[in-house]
Amino acid sequence: MSERPPIRVLLADDSATIRSYLAGLIAAAPGLTVIGEACDGEEAVRLVETLKPDVVSMDIRMPHLDGLEATRQIMERQPTPTVVVSALVDEDVDLSFKAMEAGALAVLRKPPMQRDPDYGPLHREFITTLKAMAGVTVVRRWQNTPPHGITLPTRPTTNRPAQPENGSPATHTDKPELVAIGASAGGPSALSGLLAGLPENFPLPIVIVQHMPDEFLPGLARWLGKHTRLKVNMAESGQVLQENTVYLAPGGAHLKLGRRGQVLVANKMVDEGSSRYCPSIDVFFASVAKVCGTTGVGIILTGMGDDGAKGLLGIREAGGRTFAQSEASCTVFGMPAVALANGAVEHSLNPEAMSQALRKLTENS
């Protein structure tokens, strides 16, 4: 059997040193090859049209044409999976999320040099993300197109309830207290689509655990705040969770749900190395199952890996309501697929349909 051809990567970065460094990382990774290098956004757009790479590694701040405008033009002219690989200054973080609105699939921190303690995990994330995003089908994005996710037209839509193992749909009578959401690759676009459909008086707190470099999370909170009528904050340890407010789990620690009297509170806990992800969706979902029981609502959105599937099953087994993003609307159908396979999911919906389901759930409870 013939070997699969390598994934063809275009590198765009204004620093020749960084391009050389990233090219070396890619060359050392099985299944990847660099087919071109661009020193600015204008050259990136030209090379995408002539070389037709499988995936683009896009710097955000470049001369002549920055990564944001380059991404917009690529999605208009020659739609290609694009990963923003950014530095950490605030302006770059904000531009990175604007690039996601324009069609970029993921945002990553530039991998540091080998002597840096973060080299290992960030190097692996860079390579893994390029491989995963190269397999995503992206569509043409015209100017002023609403930024509510990536369309994958080749797969059937599955907005049907996922049947429990006994074949009968679950019934719920308890009023929900909290919505817990887990997301990874492609999550920001899915989250913006889901949150945009909720009213400003949505009567529950929403807590999100999004896999993303720690330094980008405050920028994600700012960006999501522009796409929803709800308040969006970073969660703080000991904080009482309020209705019509979205809380984003901070990086560097796990988030757990607690109860103080009649109110729900967020608690941070130090990572003891037992989880592959920090913050972990599974850790948070397990605390939701324990604290809320039948009043918890769990949602798994697009992402690589399996984090959250076990925790979502815990919420369902505790009597809570559970949802997963439909395959047709996912950037990466990894985490939702595992959750569906292990029987954790009651309903498989696209993000906009989830908004409708959440509104009906709170209206009818």
Could you say which DSSP state residue 329 is in?
Answer: G
Q: Which member of 86, 184, 280, 287 is catalytic?
A: 184
Edge-to-edge strand order for the sheet containing 296-300? Answer: 231-234, 245-248, 206-210, 178-183, 296-300, 321-325, 347-349
Q: How far apart are CA 255 and CA 122, in angstroms?
A: 22
Dihedral sign for Cα 339, 57, 7, 275, please. Answer: negative
Q: Which member of 192, 307, 329, 355 is catalytic?
A: 307
Which residue stretches of 103-210 are H helix?
A: 119-134, 187-196
Is 306 part of the annotated catalytic residue set? Answer: no
Is 59 part of the annotated catalytic residue set? Answer: no
Could you say which DSSP state residue 177 is in?
Answer: -
Number of helices and strands (H, E) in the chain?
11, 15
Q: Which member of 13, 40, 192, 211 is catalytic?
A: 211
Residues counted in the chain: 365
Nearest to 352 by CA among 148, 138, 210: 148
Distance of alpha carbon 170 from the chain centroid? 28
Is 227 part of the annotated catalytic residue set? Answer: no
Residues marked active site are found at 184, 211, 307
